[in-house]
Structure formats: C-alpha cells, structure tokens
C-alpha cells in the first residue's frame, strides 16, 4: 500500500510510515477513549467555564475521541490530512452547539488546541514503543507531527466555518430571540410580562413547573435532542400540557416549563415517571410550581438543585427527581466539604462504607423515621424485631452515644451520608490509571 500524502516523498519515509506510523495509528485508535479522557482532564483544568457541567465534559470527550479516531484512520490510510479532514458528526455538533450558546470562537479553538496537545504527547509515546531504533523514531515523530498538524489545521478551519455559519444562522432565528428572553428572565433582569409572552409565544402569567432532562453519554448517530424532548413531552402530558416551553442547555440536556392555569396538584408531581420508550437513558429533575416570571425562574433554580442531588445520589435511568423530595439535602450540601465534615463528625464509625456499617445505618435511618418504633421498623425492613434491636445497639456502639441524643443532627447526617462520600481517592475518569498518567504528562504539555 502506498501513501497518497505529498508529505511522504522518499523510500525511507514510506518504509517508516509502513513499519512505524501505520501500527502506531492502529494503537492510537485503540486508545482513543483513554486519550480523550486525558484531554478532558487537561482541558477542563484550563477552561473550567467551558466544561462546567458533566454534560459539557461528556460532549467534549466524545468530540475529542471521534477526532482522534478520524485522524488515526487518515494516518493509517496514508491519506492527505488536509483533503480528508472531514470533521466527525460529534465534533460538528460541538461547534454548532457552541455557536448557539454564545461560546466565544477563541475559547472553542483553544479547547481544540488543548486536546491536540494531549493527543500529540500520547502519540509520541506510542511512536516510542513502535520504533525499533533512534533514527526510525526521529523520522516517525517528524512525519507524524507534520501529519497531525496538517490535520488539526484543516479541522480548525472547518470548525471555524461551521461555527460562523451556525452563529449567523442562529442570530437571525426566532429561537435566538426566545433564548435571549429566557436568559433575561433566569438572570432576574427586568422584562415586561407582555413582551416576554409575545417573544416566547408562551403565557408567562400562568403556573409553571420547570423540568430538566439529561443524558450521561454522547453516542455517535443518536439524536439526543429528540430523545430529551420525548422525555419532556411525556412529563408534560402527565401534567396535562402538550406544549411545554423548551430551552436547550446543550447537546445532552434540555430544560422546559410545563404551564397550567392553576397550580399543579402535588400528587401529580409525586407520581411523575418517564413512561415513553422513546427516551432511553434519560433522567429528569423538576422544580416546584411557581407563578409568573418569578415562578418560572424559581422553579428552574429548584430543578437545577434536584438535578444536582440526583447526580450525587446516582439516581437510576428513567427516574424523576422532585425538588420537594430532596430540598433538605439540597440546602445541606451547598457546601459539600462542610457537609462531608458534618457527616463524618456526627456519624463517626457509623459513617464508614463497609457492608455492616451501611446496613446498620440504613436500619437506624428507618428506626428514626418510625419514631423509634422497633415494630414498625421491622415491618418496613421485613426483619424480626430482635434484629432491629441488635442493629440499634450496634449503631450506638459505632456512634459512641445513644441514638436519642442529637436526633435532628443524626437524622440529617444519615440523610446526607450517601451524597457526600469522600471522593479524594477517585480518579478524574473511569479509565484505569488515568490519574497517574495526566500527572506524569502535565509537566510536558504546553499551556497555550
């Protein structure tokens, strides 16, 4: 097989491409997930405002992984990087989404360059493993770097064109006016009620329940907006409204307001579930009913908090988290570090994560909920009363005090325990060994 890129002109270069660069490109593709996660850590540390949410991190990771795989394919084929650098769909979507949400082009371009820096460093390490001698390595690094820079240059030009075209299209659209109006309302800035109603085509004087639907992963070829909107419309239908006001928060999340002429009954909100099969992988968080412009904003703020707690609690896919159900935990975990210290101090050894401590803590939580009734606790847990009594004695031993002391603080600590598990030993990604890798790479990466 002969490379078609004009950068390969001599027999020695062709030999090194075949012997070193092609197998290295194969390994680069195999390690694309790992390297994209490394790039995410590197980029989020330098552009925290761009990657401020789990959804933004996932979209950036997916875009980076797709681009790494695309470059690896170009290199393996020996193709012209400038002529074949068609951005993957995930990367195109990332550029368009940035244009719609007001991300500065310079910020977007910097995120690409930061990812390039990590990818280039990792690729250099891969080349070290595949080159049999120093001369082959030198030539492989020279050719590989030229190939990658040509690819990135072409990709950045294409991303800029896509971004600019989308920004111009978006600025002329009715959707842009709606987004600007919603942003004004959520920021608490003054706006006339009639003006807001006209721009949004949505009566803002009514009662509103805000909902946020989100996905955890970005899969190529999946229409995420259609999936998220299906979940929102399913929720809206259960409330009795077929036309929710939609507000995109990004590729993996959307907010909406379900409005009604009267306050939505609490039981209706308690019973909300995602019933449609057209929304796989979606979770939803909802705020409490609020009226008018102030209610539209307050319900949204509550939905954001419900989403935060749903993430901390790792609520399963398909669930709806209502703010009312988690309000205490939301308020008590605004400062996570203080909450963690409080839980550790109140629970002592009862807050440890071994199976026995967790079982005893769960029993104590129910025991306190049932006003210290062993009978009702046993019935709820489907165990014998003697088992409850034994576990309560265990709890007192682990606490170092009777369970009827500081009961308010004890109940709060038990409610918060699962939300503020110490994350100090966790790595920045699920990829094994990535924490050590990014630390090792950190001193060698350009800062841009």
Which tens digit of pLDDT belongs to each residue from 113-145?
Answer: 999 999 999 999 999 999 999 999 999 999 999
pLDDT value for 440:
52
DSSP lists the bridge partners of residue 344 as none
Q: Which of 4-8, 10-14, 147-151, 177-181 has the lowest mean pLDDT?
A: 4-8
Alpha-carbon distance values, 236 to 3, 243, 409 (Å): 56, 8, 38
Quote the pLDDT of residue 365: 95
Report the alpha-carbon distance of residue 339 to residue 103 in Å, rounded: 33
Alpha carbons 9 and 3: distance in angstroms, whole number: 9
Flag whether pLDDT at 441 surpasses 80. Answer: no
pLDDT tens digits along 227-281: 999 999 999 999 988 799 999 999 999 999 999 999 999 999 999 999 989 899 9
Would you state the pLDDT for residue 7?
74
**What band does 445 get if pLDDT is binned at 50, 70 and 90?**
low
Determine how β-strand 207-214 pairs with β-strand 253-260. antiparallel
Residue 112: both structure tokens together: 């690409």
Which is higher by pLDDT, 445 or 43?
43
The residues facing 214 across adjacent strands are 253, 283
Q: What per-residue confidence (pLDDT) applies to 419?
A: 86
Say whether 271 sits in a helix, a strand or coil.
Answer: coil
CATH code for the structural domain at 182-330: 3.30.70
Range scoring the smallest mean pLDDT among 29-38, 82-91, 158-167: 82-91
**Helix-strand-coil split of the chain, %, nearest 5:** 65, 5, 30
- Class of domain 11-172+435-442 as given by CATH: mainly alpha
Given a cut of 80, is residue 353 above it in pLDDT? Answer: yes
pLDDT given for residue 85 in this prediction: 60
Residue-level pLDDT at 448: 52
With 90 as the cut, is the pLDDT of residue 420 above it? no
Cβ atoms of 35 and 68 closer than 8 Å: yes
User: What value does the mean pLDDT take over residues 36-59?
Assistant: 94
> Which of 134, 149, 158, 122 minimizes the C-alpha distance to 37?
122
Kindly give the pairing relationship between strand 283-286 and strand 320-322. parallel
| pLDDT for residue 444 is more than 60 | no
Query: Position of tokens 């491409």?
Result: 17
The strand pairing partners of 291, in sequence order, are 207
User: Of 235, 234, 221, 213, whose CA–CA distance to 281 is shortest?
Assistant: 213
**Domain spans in the chain, listed from the N-terminal domain onward:** 11-172+435-442, 182-330, 336-416
Residue 396 predicted with pLDDT over 80: yes
- Rounded percentage of the chain residues whose pLDDT exceeds 70: 93
On average, the pLDDT of the chain sits at 90
Specify whether the CB–CB gap between 384 and 373 falls below 8 A.
no
Q: How many CB atoms lie within 10 A of CB 408?
A: 8
**442 has pLDDT over 90:** no
pLDDT for 242: 79
Query: What is the reported pLDDT for 418?
Result: 85
Query: How high is the pLDDT of residue 432?
Result: 43
Residues 6+ apart with CB under 8 A from 85: 70, 74, 151, 154, 155, 158
CATH class of 336-416: mainly alpha
- Indicate the pTM of the whole model: 0.79
pLDDT at 81: 85
Model pLDDT, residue 422: 58
């Amino acid at each position: 097989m002969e490379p078609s890129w004009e950068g390969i002109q001599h027999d020695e270069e062709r030999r090194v491409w075949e012997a070193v660069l092609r197998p290295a490109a194969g390994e680069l593709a195999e390690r694309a997930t790992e390297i994209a996660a490394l790039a995410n850590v590197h980029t989020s540390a330098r552009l925290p405002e761009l990657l401020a949410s789990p959804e933004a991190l996932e979209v950036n990771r997916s875009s980076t992984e797709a681009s790494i795989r695309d470059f690896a394919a170009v290199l393996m084929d020996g193709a012209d990087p400038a002529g074949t650098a068609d951005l993957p769909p995930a990367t195109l979507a990332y550029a368009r989404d940035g244009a719609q949400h007001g991300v500065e082009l310079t910020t977007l371009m910097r995120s690409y360059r930061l990812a390039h820096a990590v990818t280039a460093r990792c690729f250099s390490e891969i080349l070290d493993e595949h080159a049999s001698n120093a001369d082959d390595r030198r030539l492989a690094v020279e050719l590989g770097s030229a190939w990658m820079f040509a690819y990135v240059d072409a990709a950045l030009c294409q991303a800029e064109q896509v971004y600019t075209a989308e920004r111009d299209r978006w600025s002329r659209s009715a959707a842009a006016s709606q987004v600007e109006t919603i942003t004004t309302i959520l920021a608490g800035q003054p706006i006339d009620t009639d003006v807001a109603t006209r721009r949004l085509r949505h009566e803002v004087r009514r009662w509103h329940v805000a909902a946020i639907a989100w996905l955890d992963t970005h899969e190529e070829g999946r229409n995420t907006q259609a999936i998220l909107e299906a979940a929102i419309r399913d929720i809206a239908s259960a409330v009795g409204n077929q036309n929710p006001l939609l507000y995109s928060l990004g590729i993996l999340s959307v907010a909406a307001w379900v409005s009604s002429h009267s306050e939505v009954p609490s039981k209706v909100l308690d019973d909300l579930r995602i019933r449609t099969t057209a929304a796989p992988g979606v979770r939803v968080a909802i705020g409490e009913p609020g009226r008018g412009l102030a209610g539209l904003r307050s319900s949204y703020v509550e939905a954001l908090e419900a989403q935060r707690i749903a993430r901390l609690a790792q609520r399963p896919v398909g669930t709806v988290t209502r703010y009312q159900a988690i309000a205490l935990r939301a308020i008590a975990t605004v400062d996570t570090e203080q909450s963690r210290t409080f839980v550790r101090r109140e629970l002592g050894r009862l807050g440890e994560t071994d199976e026995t401590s967790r079982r005893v803590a769960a029993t104590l939580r129910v025991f306190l909920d049932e006003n210290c009734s062993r009978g009702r606790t046993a019935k709820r847990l489907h165990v014998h009363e003697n088992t409850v009594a034994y576990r309560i004695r265990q709890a007192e031993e682990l606490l170092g005090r009777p369970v009827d002391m500081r009961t308010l603080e004890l109940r709060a600590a038990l409610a918060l325990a699962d939300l503020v598990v110490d994350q100090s030993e966790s790595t920045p990604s699920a990829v094994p060994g990535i924490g050590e890798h990014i630390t090792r790479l950190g001193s060698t990466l350009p800062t841009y």
